[in-house]
Amino acid sequence: MAEASLCAPPTSRSGANPQLSSDTDWREVARLVLTSREMDRLEEEELVPARQVLYQFSARGHDLAQVLLGLKLRDGDAACGYYRSRPLLLALGVPLADALGSGMGRAGGYSGGRDIGVVFNYPNPGGAHALPMSGGVGAQYTPAAGWAQAIRYKAEVLREQDRGNIALVLGGDASCATGGFWSALTIATTQKLPLLFYVEDNGYGISVPSTYQTPGQDLAANLAAFKDLAIFNGDGTEPVEASRLIDAAVAHVRSGRGPALLRLTVPRLEGHSYQDTQTYKSEQVIAAEWARDPLPKLKAHVAARQIGDEAWAALSQEVAWEVARAREEAEARPVLPVEKVADDVFFSGTHAAVGGRAGLGLDGTYEEPRPEGQRINMVTAIRRVLEQELEANPKMCVFGEDVGPKGGVHAVTLGLQERFGHERVFDTSLNEEGIVGRAVGMAIAGLLPVPEIQFRKYAEPATEQINDCGTMRWRTANRFAAPMVLRVPGGFFKCGDPWHSQTNEVQFVHNPGWKVAVPSNAEDAVGLLRMALRGHDPVLFFEHRAMLDDSWARRPWPGDAYVLPFGRGRKTRQGDRITIVTWGAMVPRCEAAAEGLSADVIDLRTLMPWDRDMVLESVRRTRRCLIVHEDLRTGGFGAEIAAVVADEAFLDLDAPVARVTMPDIPSPHHPSLLEAAVPSVARIRAEIDRLVGF
């Protein structure tokens, strides 16, 4: 089994003194480890059997090293952990009633009962923040890289004092097989960021031994050839060794010499979770793991520091009383009122405790366009807004694949790096999870990231980070938020293909917490982009490839302070025979199809939120509704519009609600095949005539 290789000898490539002394407060270490043990005992023996706690993850065996590490963090640092990281939280000072009450799903605490209790977050003014963790394994790594990059950004761009702050990310050895880990490792090493990776190697990913996760079962040894990565490798159950390695690793990262990886072997003394009986482990393996329990080793170590058996017993009793009082406080908390369960999905007037507030305000802006100059295309319009906001807001940065010297594959960012520098407009490694996850960490740190995904299809690897970003405000009860503007070009162009021409906007609408903009022309792109950059929520800004340089989409510049509120559609034509609802590249086709007919053509402009009132008012007047979109028919956003119309305006209809869409196929490549698949003017007109004549 994996046990034989768990205690690799400590190694270091950092140049740190291997005899580094520690100023550790061992009594505090003992108090916190005993607190963690008592909380685990209380949950396992009382709260879980009573079904007061539904999900429980013991930290036994992991606790000593986490406490030692947590006590080394300070104001300006941040840690991003996972479901077994409660000892670290205790070291940061999280109230015990919050830690217990969150597991009970009570009001207050980490989420107000919205999320699993072990999925923690901890705003910690004056200390290190515990960033909102994700329930997904490996999702913690790239946001931590983003926080680390924000530390450097604040020092180099905002000229804030460099206080040697660091970002810390924790994960088990199995999490190091995920794309998030490797993406963050690439970001941190190539950029030499102040990021400490702490890998708690217990030899298992639930039941799967590390032989399936890591060749040779020693990640630190495997990474020995990684350039600009200091390696610290040892036993997390030995107090002196663990303390020495932790001190050295933290000192290395604080020194500004780049990232470090700290691998400490630890035993997982209980199952993966309470329900896990560990039948996949032999009795010999379990006995060997308990023989490595760090608690007796800690007790022996502190006995040499005037904390003998009597003092240890007194400390244990003190801890038991504190946990019991915390339990009473937690049990006295109510469950969140059900009418509040939908609160905090979007910003509603109260800022999160941590994150956001980086966008400029709306003072001096206006909502009616003030056209000036010649008509410009969408590329120029978007670039000009980015340029203006970068000039006015030093907290804003733009990044993604090829956005630097190349100016983006669609030329939208052309010249921005030359003007604003590599620190503010920069290329990234080819990893979309890393692009969006990094943006999450930077946004939590108080910056305004504007990441770009090169094509819509390429957003798929970032799906987990996109989802986690959108739900952050809700699942942390407005304690954290990560506003950003995620620019995503997509849709057909002169030809199509399954890889570059996808739209699938509805997937983003299905991610709670995201606003979704789908401008069809340069004027709307200006207003929506500036509003997104001045707002307080994450925004998916969809740039349709066919409209970026389309002559129909060209408009005069609408003014340097023009903003367009989300959820406000526009009637591009007005009439009384039929309502046509559309967006993006389908708007000019719908206008052409409605030529010579009295019709309302509504360009929604945003899908989250969408202008229900405008659509319903029009349908009640015209008594007919046609929805046209480029996305696939089944499950497309048109189905949502049709459902709302049928539900709220059914008695006003004189004809069935109809849709013209792509068939349920990928976008075909050859132009003739593409034109047959995408809604054409002729197909749209035929459906208009059918409905009008119904």
Give me the active site residues, please.
500
Preceding omega of 609 cis (within 30 degrees of 0) = yes
Nearest to 627 by CA among 589, 592, 579, 588: 579
Q: What is the sign of the dihedral through the CA atoms of 401, 403, 407 and 410?
A: positive
- C-alpha span between 318 and 554 (Å, rounded): 72
User: Coil, helix or strand for 462?
Assistant: helix
The contacts of residue 422 (CB under 8 Å, 6+ apart) are 404
- C-alpha span between 260 and 198 (Å, rounded): 8
The residue type of 388 is Q
The contacts of residue 63 (CB under 8 Å, 6+ apart) are 32, 33, 36, 37, 87, 294, 295
What token pair was written down for 150? Answer: 């924000």
H or E segment to which residue 686 belongs: helix 681-692
The contacts of residue 648 (CB under 8 Å, 6+ apart) are 616
User: Coil, helix or strand for 23?
Assistant: coil
- C-alpha span between 257 and 193 (Å, rounded): 8
- C-alpha span between 33 and 91 (Å, rounded): 9
Phi, psi of 70 (to 5 degrees): -60, -35
- C-alpha span between 363 and 272 (Å, rounded): 52
Phi, psi of 61 (to 5 degrees): 100, -35
The residue type of 59 is A
Write down the H helix ranges in 460-519. 463-475, 506-509
